[in-house]
Amino acid sequence: MKDPPFELNTVLSNLKDLEGSDLTAFDAVYLGNIYCRLYEQNFLERPDDLKQGILRVKAAGKKAYVSTYAAPRNSFLPKLRKVLEVAHSVPADAVEVHNLGVLRMAHEEFPDLKVHIGGMANVYTDAGASVLKQYGAERVTPNYELSLDEIRELTRASELPAEILVHGKMPLGISDHCFLLDYEEKWGIQCPTLCQLPLFVKKDGWAMRSAGKGIMSGKDVCMLEHLPSLLDAGHRVFRIEAAYETAVYRREVAQVYREALELALTGEPYKIDERWWEVIRAHAHIGLCNGFYFGRTGMDYLDASSPAIASFLGREVAAD
Amino acid sequence: MSKVALLAPAGSLEAADVAFDSGADLIYVGLKGWSRGGYRGELTRDEFTQCLAHAKRQGKRVWLAANIIPKPKERAELLRRLADLTASGLEGVIVNDLGFLREVRRVFPDLFVSASIGCGAMNLEDVRFYEAQGAGAVVLPANLEPEEVAAIKSKTTIQVELMAHMVEQFIQLGKCFMPSYLHFRPTDREEVGLRLTGSVKRGGVGVCFRVCQEPWELSDGDRVREQLLFPSRQLSRLVDLGEFLDAGVDIVKLQGRSLPPELIAPLVRRYRSAIAHWENGERDWVPPEPPVLPPMWTMVGR
C-alpha cells in the first residue's frame, strides 16, 4: 500500500472520545491521556479499552498509536508495562513516549515496538535526538520551544523525522499534583469531570488552558498560513492537539487542515479559503498564536495574510 | 557502605567558603552564562579557580552545574570550557541535556557526571536510563518518598542524589514552558552570545521570571471562579532524612545558588547535623529546629 503523502493526527483520551469523534480527516490517532491517571476512563488505565481503541482505529484504516504518561512515578510502571504489552500484542503502529524511563522499558522489553518521542521528552538538539534514536525512536516531536530553523537542523543532523503540532493547545507543563482537586467540594464538581470544564488561567492579556495537572497554551497554535513552508522543509507529520476539545472541534479543524494540506501539495497557489478561517476563528476562544516556530514568544502570531484573520487578531494588514 | 556526601549550593566565593565551613563535602557552582541559575549566582572563571583552591586546601570537591542545554554551536564552546576547568581540577559536572551528557562522557571519560534534577528522573526506569548513559549520579526530587528511592536503589548501582531541600514549583522542573509562552526574547549576552530569556529549560540567561508566582484568575468560560497562585511549596526532608539515607541515598543535595552566605550556613549545618546523627546510628533523632524554614529561604535560584 502506498504511503499517504502526509499524516494528520490527533490524540484521544478514552473510548468515549473515540466513539464520539469523526476521524475522517485524520490519518492516525494517539490513544491515551498523558497527564493524569484519574482522567475519565483514560485508555492508559484500561487495557481492554485500549485494545478496543487500537482495533477500532485500525479498522477505520488509520494508524493507531499509543501514548504514555509524561511524568510517571514508580507506582505507574506496572500499568505502563501493561500498556506497552497491549500496544505490542494487538499491535499498535507505535507508542509515543515522553519519559525516558518508559523509552528504556519499551526498548528493552518490547524491542520490535516502534517508538515516537513525544513533546514532553525535552528533545532540544540533534545530540539528544541521536541518543534516542539508539533506543529505537523513529519520530520525534521536538520540544515546543524550538523554532522551525532549529527543528530543521535537528532533523537534518539526527536524520529523524519530526512531528509538528500545527494546530491546537500547545502543552506548556506538567505537574505532579492536580490543584483542581482543592476545588471539588467548593464547586460541587468532582474529578474526573472537573478538568473537562473550559478552564483558563488568566492575567492581563495572558491566558493558559488548565487541565489540573497539565497546562497548555490559551491560544490555539495555528500554522494554517505556513503549511506550504512546513511541507517545503520536508515535514510530513502534523498534529492537531485537541485532547481537551470537543468532537466538533476535532472534526472541523481537521477537515480544514486536510483540505489545506492537500491544496498545498498540489503546488497550485496556496490561498486560504475564507471558510477555513471561519472555522478556525469559531473555535479559538482566546486567540491564535504560532507557538515558538518563528523564534518568538509562544503566544505571538507572526503575520496575517488575510484581512479577516487580521481583524480577528486585532491587527491591520499591510497594504500590498 | 560509602559515606553519605552533603552537596551544597554556592553562588559566590563567600557562599562556597561558608558552605565548606558549615560541613558541606562538596559544592556546586555555575560559570557565568553556562548554568541554569542565570547570571545571579554564577562565578567568573577567576572566582572558579579560587574556589577550587579553597576546596583543595580542605580536601573538598567542586562540581560545575553546566545545566544549560547548549545549542549545537554552543556545544563545542562549552566542551572547551569544561576542558579548561577539568585541567584546573574540576571533578564533576551536572548536566541537564541527554545529548550533552553523552558528549561529556565521550570527551571526558573520567569526569564524574550527574544527571540534573532538570532531567526529570522520577522512577526506577528513568534512573536505569541515565545509568546506561554513563551518568555517575542522578538527582531525584524531594517529593519522592523513601520507599521509591529504596526501590530504585535496589535495582541500580548508580549514585542517587536527593534534592532534600528545594522549592517544588507547581510545574515540574524541566517540564515548564509557561514563561517562554508569555515572554520570550533573544538577549545578547557578553561573553556567551545570544541567549533566550524565558526558556527555563535551556537556561543560560535571566531564565524564569516566575509566572507561577503571579496572581492568576481561574475562569470557567467567562465566569471567574478563583483567584490563585500556582501552588508551590518548600520541601525540606530534614525530619525524614534518616529514612532516605536508610533507603540508600548517596548524596544529600541542597538547592539554592542564589541564597546569601548567611542562609547557606544554617541550612548546611542542619543537614550536616542530621547526617551525623544518622551515621551515629541515632535512628530516632529529630532535628531541634522546625523542619519548615523561613519563607525567605525559599527564594532560591536553581
Q: Is the ipTM of this complex over 0.90?
A: yes
Chain B positions touching A120 (Cβ under 8 A) are 175
Residue pair B229/B215 in contact by the 8 Å Cβ criterion: yes
Tens-digit pLDDT profile for residues A217-236? 999 999 999 999 999 999 99
Chain A residues touching B177 at Cβ < 8 A: 143-145, 171-173, 298
Percent of chain B beyond pLDDT 70? Answer: 86
* DSSP-based helix, strand, coil % in chain A, nearest 5: 40, 20, 40
Please, which residues 135-194 of chain A have a Cβ atom closer than 8 Å to chain B? 143-145, 150, 153, 157, 170-177, 179, 183, 187
Best residue of B175, B199, B202, B226 to probe chain A, by most A CBs closer than 10 Å: B175
Name chain A contacts of B174, Cβ cutoff 8 Å: 122
Q: What whole-number distance in Å separates Cα of residue A273 and Cα of residue A270?
A: 9
Top-confidence residue, B194 or B83: B83
Q: In this structure, what DSSP letter does residue A162 have?
A: B
**Which residue reads 498564536 in cell numbers?**
A289
**A132 vs B98: CB contact, 8 Å cut-off?**
yes
Residue B289 has pLDDT above 90, yes or no: no
- Region B47-75: what's the mean pLDDT? 92
CB spacing of B171 vs A150 below 8 angstroms? no
Q: Indicate the pLDDT class of residue B206, thresholds 50, 70 and 90.
A: very low
Predicted local confidence at residue A1, as pLDDT: 55
Cβ contacts of A77 on chain B, cutoff 8 Å: 123-125
Residues B261 and B14 sit within 8 Å (Cβ to Cβ): yes
Q: Percent of chain B, pLDDT > 90? A: 63
Whether A294 has its CB under 8 Å from any CB of chain B: the answer is: no
Helix (H) or strand (E) holding B181: helix B178-182
Strand-pair partners of B235: B166
Does position A316 have pLDDT exceeding 80, yes or no? no
Chain A, chain B: beta-carbon pairs less than 8 Å apart: 184
A169 has a pLDDT exceeding 50: yes
The larger pLDDT score, comparing residue B221 to residue B80, is at B80
Q: Do B61 and B168 meet the contact criterion of CB atoms below 8 Å apart?
A: no
Residue A227 carries which side chain, given as an amino acid letter?
A: L
Out of A202-206, A295-299, B169-173, which region has the weakest mean confidence (pLDDT)?
B169-173
Supply the pLDDT for residue B291.
54
Give A241's contacts in chain B (Cβ within 8 Å): none
Which residues have CB under 8 Å from A268's CB, separation 6+? none
Of the candidates B144, B177, B231, which has its C-beta nearest A179's C-beta?
B231
Contacts of B202 (CB under 8 A, 6+ apart): A124, A145, B68, B69, B196
- Structural contact between residues A174 and B175, judged by C-beta atoms closer than 8 angstroms: yes
Q: How far apart are CA A13 and CA A8, in angstroms?
A: 17
Model confidence at B302: pLDDT above 50: no
pLDDT score at A4 = 82
Give percent above pLDDT 90 in chain A. Answer: 89
Q: Is residue B202's pLDDT more than 80?
A: no
Q: pTM, whole model, 2 decimals?
A: 0.94
Mean model confidence pLDDT for chain A: 94
Calculate the average pLDDT of chain B: 88
Using a CB-CB cut-off of 8 Å, the residues of chain B touching A126 are 72, 99
> Phi and psi of A258, rounded to 5°?
-65, -50
Tell me the sheet residues that pair with A220.
Answer: A288
Q: What are phi and psi of A212, to 5 degrees?
A: 85, -85
CB contact under 8 A, B214 and A203: yes
DSSP-derived secondary structure letter, A191: T
Closest Cα in chain B to A102: B125
CA distance B6 to chain A (A): 25
Answer yes or no: do A101 and B215 touch at CB < 8 A.
no
Q: What is the pLDDT of residue B150?
A: 98
Supply A43's cell numbers.
485508555
How does residue B299 score in pLDDT terms, banded at 50, 70 and 90?
A: very low
Spell out the residues 6+ positions from residue A246 whose beta carbon is closer than 8 angstroms to its own: none
**Residue of higher predicted confidence among A143 and B289:** A143
**CA–CA distance from B189 to each of A287, A298, B38, B206, B209 (Å)?**
33, 22, 11, 10, 17
Contact call for A176 and B70, based on CB within 8 A: no
Cross-chain residue pair A102–B125, CB shorter than 8 Å: yes
pLDDT band of residue A308 (cuts 50, 70, 90) is confident
pLDDT of residue B105: 96
**Which element (helix H / strand E) includes B129?**
helix B124-132
Is the pLDDT reported for residue A289 higher than 70? yes
Q: Which pLDDT value is given to residue B221?
A: 82
Q: Is residue B94 within 8 Å of residue B104, measured between CB atoms?
A: no
pLDDT band per the 50, 70, 90 thresholds, residue B204:
low
| Cβ separation A125–B75 shorter than 8 A | yes
Q: Which residues of B touch A150 (CB under 8 A)?
A: 71
Q: Give contacts of B185 with chain A, Cβ < 8 Å.
A: 297
